[in-house]
């Protein structure tokens, strides 16, 4: 055993014999900490590593600055600043954000497998909230350029 040469096992404190009040106080403080300070991104679903944008020639030339953004996965899940949203929740969020912003612009980062019907629902909700919509895209890799 690795502790024998330095006799580390003899210097360790013995294990506690029972769960005293300090154990419950520590467990309660840890639970309080994680419920009040915890991030919604720790256990929330995120983007998978295989997320790929649409490829459109000249995408960089048409780039514009957006005030808000959402990400749509192949499965149709919509992720925004508030986490996972349905189309109805997205519409309410866009309405609230449109009141705060002078010229709202929504950047929609849709994966290449998102259906046109799903994109149409999202764009319709954005137009109803008076948002200008920009679809995110990548320039196709030129020959000789390093690709993903």
Calculate helix-pair angle for 87-100, 116-128, nearest 10 degrees. Answer: 30
Please answer whether residues 27 and 34 qualify as being in contact, where contact means their C-beta atoms are separated by less than 8 angstroms: no
Residue 47 has a pLDDT of 47
d(CA 20, CA 26): 11
Residue 45 has a pLDDT of 53
Query: Average pLDDT of 15-21?
Result: 75
- Structural tokens at position 102: 């002078």
Q: Give the C-alpha distances (Å, rounded to integers) separating 71 from 94, 110, 142.
A: 14, 6, 26
Going by C-beta distance under 8 Å and a sequence separation of 6 or more, which residues neighbour residue 30?
A: none
Query: Average pLDDT of 12-36?
Result: 82
The pLDDT-based confidence of 144 (bands split at 50, 70, 90) is very low
Give 7: exposed, middle or buried? Use CB within 10 Å, 0-12, 13-18, 19+: exposed
d(CA 125, CA 135): 14
- Mean pLDDT (the chain, rounded): 80
Out of 5-9, 38-42, 91-95, which region has the weakest mean confidence (pLDDT)? Answer: 38-42
């Amino acid at each position: 055993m690795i502790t024998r040469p330095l006799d580390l096992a003899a210097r360790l404190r013995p294990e506690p014999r029972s769960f005293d009040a300090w154990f419950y106080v520590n467990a309660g403080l840890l639970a309080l900490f994680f419920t009040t300070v915890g991030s919604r991104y720790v256990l929330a679903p995120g983007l998978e590593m295989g997320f790929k944008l649409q490829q459109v020639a000249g995408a960089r030339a048409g780039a514009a600055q957006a005030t808000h953004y959402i990400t749509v996965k192949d499965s149709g899940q919509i992720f925004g600043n508030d986490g996972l949203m349905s189309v109805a929740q997205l519409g309410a969020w866009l309405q609230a954000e449109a009141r705060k912003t002078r010229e709202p612009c929504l950047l929609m980062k849709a994966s290449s497998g998102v259906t046109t019907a799903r994109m149409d629902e999202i764009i319709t909700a954005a137009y109803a909230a008076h948002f200008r919509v920009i679809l995110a895209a990548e320039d196709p890799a030129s020959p000789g350029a390093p690709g993903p």
